[in-house]
Each structure stands twice: as structure tokens, then as C-alpha cells.
Amino acid sequence: MLKSKDDIIKNYNDRKLKILAKIKSLKVNINKHSFYRVLMFLLLIFCFVKMVSVNETLWQYIYGFSMIIPIVVFMLIVKNQSKIERALVFNKNYLWVIENEILALIQHQNNYSDGSIFEDDAHPYTSDLDVFGRNSIYHKINRCNTYTGMNELAAWFIDPGEIHDILNRQEAIKEGKEKIDASFTFRAFLKAQKVGFLESILAKIENELAEEIKFTQKKWMKIYVSFMPFLMLALFFLSFIGESWGWGSFIIIAIVNLTIVYSFSRNVNLIHKGFSGLGNNLQDCADAIFWDEEQNWKSEMLKINSNDNQFKNVSQEIQELATIIDQFDARMNMIVNVFLNALMVWDLRCSVKLENWYKKSSHTIVVGLKRIPKLESILSISTLHYNYPNWNFPSFINENELVAVDLAHPLIPEESVISNDYNLKIPRVDIITGSNMSGKSTFLRSIGLNIILAYTGSPVSASNFVLPKLNIVSYMRIKDSLETKTSTFKAELIRLKMILEHVTQDRNTLVLIDEMLRGTNSHDKFEGSKAFILKMINLGVPTLFATHDLQLSALEKEYLGKVKNFHFDIYIDENEMKFDYKLKEGPCNVFNAAVLLKEIGL
């Protein structure tokens, strides 16, 4: 039994309440840890004061060694509090993800990118069919947090590929829907990352790091960073037990260490640049990939490399990189930097660790990181599939027919949308007439958008949708431009030229036309529209042609079987004009322009 919209929203709200309770508990826990930290600090001060205030040597040693206890406990508290704070950040991001789904279902809003950067008026159909931009189909679907994921999802709308590509995505989307509850964990980890993080890390690892770490490959440096901490520890111990030469040697070697480390500061800075401060982001990335590794995907698109032995521990290898970066970031505190480099040649030590990691893990990491955008894109559409269980996956046929049952506009809320049945025998030209605001343009966009959804691998807003693979070109939102000195009529001619060139080269195309040649007189408009329709008939290109020009309906009799009339009409109920938005066969015989003009006083 399919879940209703109310059931889905209730599920999200139940999750929200649980997360809110968890966030509250974590905040209380953090406050407790903060109190314990203060307590340990006070205990440390107490032990120190007692140590310097007593005269007996034995008690001085007792209090001195007792100081270790609050220090160790303090460090453990800090470490544990850090984990709790990380859990708090994760749960806040999880809450954001859940609240976004509630917002999307109730208010039809989405806080992920709307894809405005992909808008292109020159594209054959995206600007006409609300593919990108605010309140677009991309905006409804997108749940990607990485630039690469956004680009991959956009590419499926712009150029969906062949049928086998579409079917592979469809299979992956269906599998993703079965794991949708768990996938919010994946999305919450990615939400914590800075947008652009994945791309910058990949650029660093693929293009820059190999050259930057070359200086660490010197054999003496690897030996040097390995034994130096032990040497400094030994000198410190000898100095502490009273060897007269110990402190002098300790200080001299510390100065030598600083000199050597800072002589490589330019190389170290290059390595650290691009990684600085990204340890937590890498950890989130590792957690997201670990989630991916645990899923045991079956679909062809998602299982690639997922079960290959060399890619099973990608998350662990990213965690290793995150640990190295966190250690590296210690150099950002000047006092700590001097201390660590003097005793442990810290910068060089971290650089050598990074070089060892690079040789062992870089290739695997790159492959693993590049899975994230694809998974984001698939799960975006899987979320749509989950949120709209009444939508159905289309079927693809090689026959020349498009069949739609209960087809609706996917951007109009389900509670107010009107669905229609429609059958197009390819290569027929269907002329759709009707009055203003009767639904012609909406119907054309319903057809176009659902075809685009079908080709991404997504379910569509229909109870049944069967179609062949067609390319789409459209002519709907024609704009003039003062900047390019383009009138409306000229813009229309440019668009028509693009369509004619396209269909001449590729007749496997569906053309969507909404009120052609608005920028010229009625006679030329009729003649131009008629010539265009005849051109489509001669080329054998299926076309949906919406128009107010009823004269064009006469072409059905002249070109029997090649042209068919449909219409949307109005009816008067208690002196009020109403629309049913239902597609009917035949030409329209009721228009409303005169009524509308009269209503405004003309």
C-alpha cells in the first residue's frame, strides 16, 4: 500500500522530534563536560598551590605527581567533549535535512541550490520548460551539496544520454528509494562540509600534492624525523636526572631543529595550503563514504567499485588523511608551532606522513571521493520518488507512439493540479487551440517536463507514461533584448531558425510550440504558422502546436491522419467564467478575450 503525503510528512515530523530531543540531550552533556573541565582546572591549581606551599619534600612530590591526574582527566574530558560537539553538529545538520523535506512537501520550497547557474536561453528547451532556476524541476529535485553533484544532476536534464543510461539510473534510483531513510545520514554528513570542499581536495590530491611533497623523499629526512623525537626525549630525561651537559645539548639541538624546519617553510606552507582547517570536513567525508561502503548496493550504477577489495577501506584512508591534517594544523598556533618543531620537527614529520599516505592511498581516495557526487545525484531523485509515491516510472518503447495517462504538471501542487490523458501518434502534428488561461501552455510544459524527468531516470507525474527516446526543442518564452538590440520578432526568428536547423539534422525530435510569431501582424502570423506546420509534416517531425488561431484547425481535414486538433475551453457558471483544464479532441469554439477585456472596462 502506497504511503499518503500525510503519512510521509508524519514520518518526517516524528524524526524531527527525535532529533530535537537528541540535540537537547547533547547540549546538556556538553554543559556537564564544561563544568567538569573547570573542576579539573581548579583541582590542578589546588595541587600546584599545595606543592609550592608545603615544606616537606615527600608532600611536594605527592602533590607534584598528583597534578598528572587532573591534567590527564582534563584531556580525556576535552577529547570526549569534542566527540559530543561533533555529534551535535551532525544532528543539527540532520535536523536541517529533515526540516527541508517537510518544507518541500508542505510549502514547496527547497533550500538546496536551484540550479540558476545552469540557465541558458540558447538551450533547445531548458529555459522554456522551467528546468533550472527558482521554482524549477531542478530546484524541486536537487539535494546535492557538492558542485560536482549539482553539475552531474544538471547534466542529466541537459543531455540525458541513451536508453541504457536512463535505465541504469532508473534502477539505481529505485534502489536508493529503498534506503532513503538511511540516506539522510549521508546527506547530513555532506551538509557539514563547505560547498566546494570536495572539488578543492580532489584538485589538491590529483594536481598539486605529488609535486609539493617531493622534498620529503630525501632519505636523510625520513631518518631525521623518525629518530629526533626519541633523541630529544632522551636528552630531556638525562637533563632531568641531573646530567650537567644534558640541558645544553637539548637547547642546541632544539635550535638546530628549528633552523632546519624553517629552512623548508616554503615547501611546508605549499603542502599545508589547501588542507588547512579541513580536518573536520575530511572526517565528515570519511563518514559519508563509510555509509556508502556499508550499503552493499546491487544496482549496476551504484555497485561499481563498491565491492572491489581495493576500495573497501576508502573511508578509513580518508580518516588517516584527516588525522594528518589535524596534526598539521597544530602549526597554526605560533607558540605550539615553535615547541613542536623544536622537539619533534613537527612540520617535516607531518609532511613525511602525508607523503607516505599519498603513495599508499591517493588513487583509491580519488576514486572514492568521485563516487560522492554520483550518489548525491541519484539520492536526489530517489528522494523525489519517496516523497511522491503516486508518481510512476515510465516505460520506453521503440514504437512511434507516446501514451500518457493521468499526466500532470510536476511543479503544480498535487492538491490543485489537473491531470490529462494524451496519445501522440508519431510523427503527427497536434494543434491545440483554446482561450486565454485555459491551460494550453501548462499542458505543453507538462508534456515536456515529464519527458525530461523520464529521461533522467526519474518517476513522472502520471499513472502511466510510455514513450520512445526523442530529443526536445521548444518555442515558448521568447524575449526581446535591449542589450543585444533584439526585438521580439527577431528573437522569434532566431528561435525558429534554431528549431528548423535542429529538426533538419535530427528528425527524431519532439517540437513544442506555444503561440508562434507573436511579434508580427495576424496575417503574417497565420501564414508563418501554417508554413511551419507544413514543414513539420513534410519532415515527419512530431509537434505540439498551441495557438489562438482557429484557422489552423482546418489543416486537420486537409492532412488527415497527419494533423489532429485538441482544445481547452471555458464554461460559464452563474455568470462566472471557469476553466476545467481538461484536454478535449477537436478545435476550440469558445474564446474569452472579449469577456476578459469587458471585465477590465474595455
Span of 73-87, 387-401, 575-589 with lowest mean pLDDT: 575-589
Q: What is the pLDDT of residue 581?
A: 93
Q: Which of 581, 582, 579, 580 is nearest to 595 (CA)?
A: 579
Distance of alpha carbon 3 from the chain centroid: 26
Q: What is the pLDDT of residue 600?
A: 45
Which is higher by pLDDT, 310 or 300?
300
List Cα–Cα distances, 242 to 56, 62, 236, 245, 247, in angstroms.
21, 20, 10, 9, 9
- The yes-or-no verdict on residue 597 having pLDDT over 50 is no
Q: What is the pLDDT of residue 337?
A: 82
Measured between alpha carbons, how far is 257 from 345 in angstroms, rounded to an integer? 6
- The yes-or-no verdict on residue 598 having pLDDT over 80 is no
Domain ranges within the chain, ordered by starting residue: 1-103, 214-371, 396-599
- The yes-or-no verdict on residue 129 having pLDDT over 70 is yes
Q: What is the pLDDT of residue 306?
A: 44
**Secondary structure (DSSP) of 43-80:** HHHHHHHHHHH---HHHHHHHHHHTHHHHHHHHHHHHH
- The yes-or-no verdict on residue 307 having pLDDT over 60 is no
Which is higher by pLDDT, 405 or 488?
405
Residue 90 in grid coordinates: 551532525
Burial of 469 (0-12, 13-18, 19+ CB in 10 A): middle
- The yes-or-no verdict on residue 481 having pLDDT over 60 is no
Band of residue 596 on the pLDDT scale cut at 50, 70, 90: very low
Band of residue 315 on the pLDDT scale cut at 50, 70, 90: confident
Band of residue 475 on the pLDDT scale cut at 50, 70, 90: very high
Q: What is the pLDDT of residue 574?
A: 66
Single-letter residue type at 300: E
Q: What is the pLDDT of residue 592?
A: 54
Residue 270 in grid coordinates: 605549499
Band of residue 399 on the pLDDT scale cut at 50, 70, 90: confident
Residue 346 in grid coordinates: 613537527
Measured between alpha carbons, how far is 584 from 440 in angstroms, rounded to an integer? 11
Q: Is 540 helix (H, G, I), strand (E, B) or coil?
A: coil
Measured between alpha carbons, how far is 457 from 488 in angstroms, rounded to an integer? 36
Residue appearing with cell numbers 523535506: 101
Which fold is adopted by the domain 396-599? Answer: Rossmann fold (3.40.50)
Q: Which of 420, 388, 371 is nearest to 137 (CA)?
A: 388
User: Mean pLDDT over all residues of the chain?
Assistant: 88
Q: pTM here?
A: 0.88
Instruction: Name residues whose C-beta falls within 8 Å of residue 296's C-beta, 6 or more positions apart in sequence.
Output: 306, 307
Q: Which of 470, 575, 90 is nearest to 291 (CA)?
A: 90
Which is higher by pLDDT, 72 or 461?
461
List Cα–Cα distances, 526 to 432, 441, 476, in angstroms.
15, 19, 17
Q: What is the pLDDT of residue 601?
A: 52
Cβ atoms of 385 and 391 within 8 Å: the answer is yes
Instruction: Name residues whose C-beta falls within 8 Å of residue 72's C-beta, 6 or more positions apart in sequence.
Output: none
- The yes-or-no verdict on residue 21 having pLDDT over 60 is yes
Name 171's bridge partners.
none
Tens digit of each residue's pLDDT (9 = 90 or more) over 239-297:
666 555 666 787 888 889 899 989 998 998 888 887 877 778 888 888 999 999 889 89
Q: What is the pLDDT of residue 548?
A: 86
Tens digit of each residue's pLDDT (9 = 90 or more) over 57-103:
788 778 878 888 888 898 899 889 989 999 999 999 999 999 999 99
Cβ atoms of 451 and 470 within 8 Å: the answer is yes
Q: Which of 181, 162, 175, 98 is nearest to 375 (CA)?
A: 175
Residue appearing with cell numbers 546491487: 298
Q: What is the pLDDT of residue 394?
A: 97
- The yes-or-no verdict on residue 333 having pLDDT over 80 is no
Measured between alpha carbons, how far is 110 from 187 in angstroms, rounded to an integer? 14
Measured between alpha carbons, how far is 101 from 89 in angstroms, rounded to an integer? 19
Tens digit of each residue's pLDDT (9 = 90 or more) over 528-550:
999 999 999 999 999 999 998 88
List Cα–Cα distances, 548 to 309, 433, 537, 562, 588, in angstroms.
63, 6, 20, 20, 9
